[in-house]
């Protein structure tokens, strides 16, 4: 049974004078949130045998902070298709993961990651985690999904959401401010 962990990039800076959205860096709160989320997933005992990520600056900086908190160097497969991708494109990327990858981390952007969770996890009454994702998938939040079969078997309504953690759940100073 594969495990997919989705990490949305941390809070980026809109005040940085970069010319392209792709080049936006993290702000101070985003850097702190990335480290915090890495520490939390290390504390929970997660491990990843495959990491795939958007090459956007805010994602590369998120991975750097996450790896610092997680205590391991990350060597992602950079995939430009993840940058601002739709849920359908993200599924295509995931279908291409190596068959022997048991636990993958995908680091990317919204609305694609949120849409992916909502597409893969059926809308059943009483699913509090899915309901939280539906309200908002904030920056640096992590969702973990599992399903029967392999990567090629990932399909609409076929997964279970087993974890949804937001930075504010771990540190109130990382709470919402309209992001």
Ligand-binding annotation for 8, yes or no, is yes
Task: For residue 12, say whether it is annotated as part of any ligand binding site.
Answer: yes
pLDDT digits (tens, 9 = 90+) for 105-140: 999 999 999 999 999 999 987 899 999 999 999 999
The rounded distance, in Å, linking the Cα atoms of 163 and 55 is 25
Tokens 């980026």 correspond to what residue? 12
Q: Where do the structural domains in the chain lie, given as residue ranges?
A: 3-173
Residue 9 marked as a ligand binder: yes
Tokens of 55: 């090459």
Nearest to 148 by CA among 137, 160, 136, 138: 160
Measured between alpha carbons, how far is residue 9 from residues 73, 151, 157 in Å?
17, 23, 25
User: 58 a known binding residue?
Assistant: yes
What is the crossing angle of helices 57-70 and 28-43, to 10°?
40
CATH 3.40.50.1240 fits 3-173, yes or no: yes
Global pTM value: 0.95
DSSP 3-state assignment of 121? Answer: coil
- What are the tens digits of pLDDT across the range 52-94? 999 999 999 999 999 999 999 999 999 999 999 999 999 999 9
pLDDT of residue 15: 78
14 labeled part of a ligand binding site = yes
Which tens digit of pLDDT belongs to each residue from 149-166?
999 999 999 999 999 999
Does 10 count as an annotated binding residue?
yes
Whether the upstream peptide bond of residue 111 has omega within 30° of 0, thus cis, is yes
- Report how far residue 113's alpha carbon sits from residue 153's, in angstroms, rounded to the nearest whole number: 18
């Amino acid at each position: 049974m594969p495990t997919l962990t989705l990490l949305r990039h941390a809070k980026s800076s809109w005040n940085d004078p970069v010319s392209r959205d792709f080049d936006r860096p993290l702000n101070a709160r985003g850097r702190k949130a990335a480290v915090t989320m890495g520490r939390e997933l290390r504390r929970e005992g997660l491990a990843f045998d495959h990491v795939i990520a958007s090459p956007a600056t805010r994602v590369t900086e998120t991975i750097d902070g996450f790896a610092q908190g997680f205590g391991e160097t990350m060597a992602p497969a950079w995939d430009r298709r993840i940058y601002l991708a739709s849920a359908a494109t993200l599924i295509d990327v995931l279908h291409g993961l190596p068959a022997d990858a048991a636990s993958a981390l995908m680091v990317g952007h919204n609305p694609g990651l949120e849409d992916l969770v909502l597409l893969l996890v059926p809308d059943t009454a009483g699913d509090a985690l899915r309901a939280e994702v539906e309200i908002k998938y904030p920056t640096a939040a992590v969702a973990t999904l599992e399903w029967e079969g392999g990567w090629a078997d990932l399909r609409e309504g076929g997964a279970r959401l087993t974890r949804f953690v937001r930075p504010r759940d771990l540190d109130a100073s990382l709470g919402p401010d309209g992001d």
